[in-house]
Structure 1
Amino acid sequence: MKGVLSHFLLQIPVLILLLILLFMDKSQSSPISGAKYSFSIRNKVHVLPYDISPNTQPLPFIPLLAPSPLIPFTNDSLPKLSGLCSLNFSAVQDIMTKTATNCWTTFAPYLANVVCCPQFDAMLITLIGQSSKYSGLLALSKTQANHCLSDIQKVLVSQGANENLNNICSVHPSNLTEGLCPVASVDEFESIADSSRLLTACREINPVNECCDQVCQNAIDYAARKIALNDMSNSNGNSSLPPKIARIKDCKNIILRWLAGKLNPSTSNSVFRGLSNCNLNKVCPLVFPNVTRITNECGNRIRNQTTCCKTTKSYVSRLQEQSFVTNLQALKCAVSLGKKLQKENVSENVYDLCHISLKDFSLQGWYC
């Protein structure tokens, strides 16, 4: 009798699993309709071999049958947009999906410097550039910029991006306008700049060679200076004109948007990411707190090596919490911290003494 009872009890989990599968199969065959965007946004999620229509909202999968953990779970709720943004979102829907994934809610603050913000910037440039094909404009008005940035944020959040993305990447409505650049239309731009030279230099770049040779970057710099200084020759020394450097910087954004209008979205996104990587690796993105504790334990003559190394490693571990960094950035950070310690009379090479390497400057290296 006990053997029969125990055999029956062992079968209960199997029966429950079969019932769950049967329930899921039936529940997923009933579509749930919902409102749609005024444009098309595709959510790429790998699921079971059930035929689920795009407007179907399936019930959560049980862990055994869950999609790949590398595929983000998106928010199926549809955002309510302003209807006042003229940008063509559907032209860059794949780029927007990629941006949402790169700026995934939990990891966005840590990936901001290396992945998220460069992709967000590239998406904004590509979006305005693609829309310029129809509008003839390379910038938005302040009113439009407010509506569009709000709508962009809503769409990205609906696909899993961090709700504070604009703050994380320091993006404001003014970033979508012409800023201080005196040129904002495609026709005016092409009447001043050497557009053929720009396209030849930037149509396709090698990420490694570009960072060294700077062919595309030099072409952009030359065009930006020409556009920024275009109306200064008639200024008669007018001191009210904005600073030259600020104008050139804003004109570079206009040039990038123009390029985005001449290239397909995928190509332009790759080009802009390559250019941003060149600038990304030039500086250390980490902020160094006060090094007094290291100076006290490791300065002048080290009295206790264990205490010195413990203090130094604790300091470096706190740096890891700020952001992910690339290998080249880690090198810049190690050099910068080394110089800072030398100025504070830490003459010993604490990196060798305490076995601190480049990977210790990055959060991702801590897990290796």
Structure 2
Amino acid sequence: MGFSQDANFYRGSLCCQLILFFIWLPTFQYVTAREIHADHRRISTLVELAKEPASGESGLFDPIEISPAVLPKFPYPTESLPPMYPTFPTRYEPVLTGKCPVNFSHSGISSILDKTASDCSGPLAALVGNVICCPQLSSLIHIFQGYFSMKSDHLVLPNAVADHCFSDIISILASRGANSTIPRLCSIKSSNFTGGSCPVKDDSTFEKTVNSSKLLEACSTVDPLKECCRPVCQPAIMDAALQISGRQMMINNNENMAGEVNHTDYLNDCKSVVYSYLSKKLSFEAANTAFRILSACKVNKVCPLTFKEPTEVINACWNVAAPSPSCCSSLNTYITGIQKQMLITNKQAIICATLFGSMLRGGGVMTNIYELCDVDLKDFSIQAYGQQGCLLRSLPGDVIFDNSSGFSFTCDLSDNIAAPWPSSSSSFASMSLCAPEMSLPALPTSSQTLKNNGCNSGGVGLLLLIFSFFIFSTLLY
């Protein structure tokens, strides 16, 4: 982000290409990962973060912190200055119903409320809702269920107080800077507290029905690197939910359950009870960490972006075999629309790029136009002043608030990693990020390197270009 001065110095220089070639050549057989520190003085902010969207382990480089304390002056003085964000929200005393019998000032629950308010702060909530805000809000709901029932045999809130407690939680979050519309944004309501139609809602029955020791062993410590591909906690939660739902016997007997329209909701209600039980047995921090990792496993399996029918791109790129101005212009225009939606993770970007590429192949575009038009993974997320995209980590992350610098969050994979082009229009259906061979796109060949190393493009410094060759040897984490 914001390396335009270095890039302009080396732009168009044959010498630049030769320097890069001789630096790269001796490292071809011995690629070594190096840690370098980002120059924070050159980091830009995101464009128009205050706007609502149109619709919802790092590599070699240190994480890039998007924070107003390190922002340079706006690089395009002829254009209007976008709204400055992050901001410093005004905190105030919330007006509570007085009908929720909970001590919200308890250090544990107050800390989780603070974290949720930060992750769902103001207009930023809509941009990070899918990855940061909603997973944290969902975790708060589960933890509050367990906290509410800590001194009783219950695992859910009574219907009589669920609405009041939910209203108080949203009021407290708003008073600490959170967006007041997050219940609608995250599709969470007061009924999520009550256990719904699940027949087991108390500790004693739960422990008679479920092997609670096995459940706690599986979920007390959740491995963020293994859980998504070799799950331990997730199947334990599902098994417990099936048991307390009373349907495990029916499944074991292979009975047909297709006619049960509400089975999914029924099972989700029981999973909510299982989460509540875990919240009562684990510390606040352990429960929150576990729930966020489980959410990350879920959100990183799906592309959250909305793709309209790419008819114009298909028409412009139908038979291209070489870089085409009309094709690339149409593709860039389409992707610019995508960039206004939300911030996504690096894994989501791979899925989104594959999904969109499959749509194009299904329409008859057989050539890898991502390569022809230099489309990168970062192009599928929010852009910073039109220069650099920000991809969030696939591991759980938080929005951080600092009294001196405001809000910030961590970007990952900010280098020019080529977007993967699907091998067929059905590639997306069979895609798995857990396949042994699945990592980042392959290291470019020497000819591709000289073509796409960025010497002739603005916004990237020579040092970043040199190290971009090595980032391909790392995994997403």
Asked if these proteins are the same fold (TM beyond 0.5), I'd say yes
Could you say if the C-alpha distance between residues 242 and 335 of structure 1 is closer, same or farther in structure 2, counting changes exceeding 3 Å?
closer
Could you say if the C-alpha distance between residues 174 and 358 of structure 1 is closer, same or farther in structure 2, counting changes exceeding 3 Å?
same
**Paired position in structure 1 for 2:196:** 179
Could you say if the C-alpha distance between residues 237 and 106 of structure 1 is closer, same or farther in structure 2, counting changes exceeding 3 Å?
closer
SS of the residue corresponding to residue 166 of structure 2 reads helix
Report deviation, 1:184.
1.4
Could you say if the C-alpha distance between residues 237 and 357 of structure 1 is closer, same or farther in structure 2, counting changes exceeding 3 Å?
closer
Could you say if the C-alpha distance between residues 71 and 321 of structure 1 is closer, same or farther in structure 2, counting changes exceeding 3 Å?
closer
**Paired position in structure 2 for 1:130:** 147
1:84 paired to 2:99? yes
Q: TM-score, normalised by structure 2?
A: 0.58
Distance 2:164 2:238 in 1: 30
Asked if 2 retains the 8 angstrom alpha-carbon contact of 1:118 and 1:276, the reply is yes
Asked if 2 retains the 8 angstrom alpha-carbon contact of 1:88 and 1:127, the reply is no
Asked if 2 retains the 8 angstrom alpha-carbon contact of 1:285 and 1:329, the reply is yes
Report deviation, 1:156.
0.3
**Paired position in structure 2 for 1:206:** 223
Aligned AA for 2:389?
W
Task: Return 132-141 or 298-307, whichever deviates more.
Answer: 298-307
Q: TM-score, normalised by structure 1?
A: 0.75
1:362 paired to 2:381? yes
Could you say if the C-alpha distance between residues 362 and 214 of structure 1 is closer, same or farther in structure 2, counting changes exceeding 3 Å?
same
Distance 1:301 1:231 in 2: 55
Bigger Rg, which one: 1
Distance 1:212 1:237 in 2: 29
1:330 paired to 2:330? no
Gaps of 5+ in 2: 1-83, 391-413, 415-477
Q: Normalized per residue, which structure has more helix?
A: 1
Could you say if the C-alpha distance between residues 300 and 198 of structure 1 is closer, same or farther in structure 2, counting changes exceeding 3 Å?
same
Asked if 2 retains the 8 angstrom alpha-carbon contact of 1:88 and 1:131, the reply is no
Quote the RMSD (CA, aligned, Å): 2.6
Distance 2:149 2:85 in 1: 35
Q: What is the percent sequence identity of the aligned residues?
A: 38
Distance 1:273 1:238 in 2: 31
Task: Return 302-311 or 355-364, whichever deviates more.
Answer: 302-311
Of 317, 322, 339, which aligns to 2:358?
Answer: 339
Of 161, 185, 192, which aligns to 1:168?
Answer: 185
1:141 paired to 2:158? yes
Task: Return 302-311 or 80-89, whichever deviates more.
Answer: 302-311
Of 299, 314, 323, which aligns to 1:295?
Answer: 314
Aligned AA for 1:184?
K
1:264 paired to 2:287? no
Asked if 2 retains the 8 angstrom alpha-carbon contact of 1:210 and 1:216, the reply is yes
Asked if 1 retains the 8 angstrom alpha-carbon contact of 2:166 and 2:190, the reply is yes
Could you say if the C-alpha distance between residues 187 and 88 of structure 1 is closer, same or farther in structure 2, counting changes exceeding 3 Å?
farther
SS of the residue corresponding to residue 105 of structure 1 reads coil
Could you say if the C-alpha distance between residues 143 and 294 of structure 1 is closer, same or farther in structure 2, counting changes exceeding 3 Å?
farther
SS of the residue corresponding to residue 211 of structure 1 reads coil
Asked if 2 retains the 8 angstrom alpha-carbon contact of 1:103 and 1:161, the reply is yes
Task: Return 275-284 or 139-148, whichever deviates more.
Answer: 139-148
Report deviation, 1:238.
11
SS of the residue corresponding to residue 243 of structure 2 reads helix
Gaps of 5+ in 1: 1-68
Distance 1:213 1:302 in 2: 41
Report deviation, 1:122.
0.7
Asked if 1 retains the 8 angstrom alpha-carbon contact of 2:118 and 2:177, the reply is yes
Counterparts of 1:93-108 in structure 2 under 5 Å? 93-108=110-125
Could you say if the C-alpha distance between residues 240 and 86 of structure 1 is closer, same or farther in structure 2, counting changes exceeding 3 Å?
farther
Report deviation, 1:302.
7.3
Could you say if the C-alpha distance between residues 133 and 107 of structure 1 is closer, same or farther in structure 2, counting changes exceeding 3 Å?
same
**Paired position in structure 2 for 1:274:** 293
Distance 1:264 1:133 in 2: 12
**Paired position in structure 1 for 2:57:** none
Report deviation, 1:144.
2.0
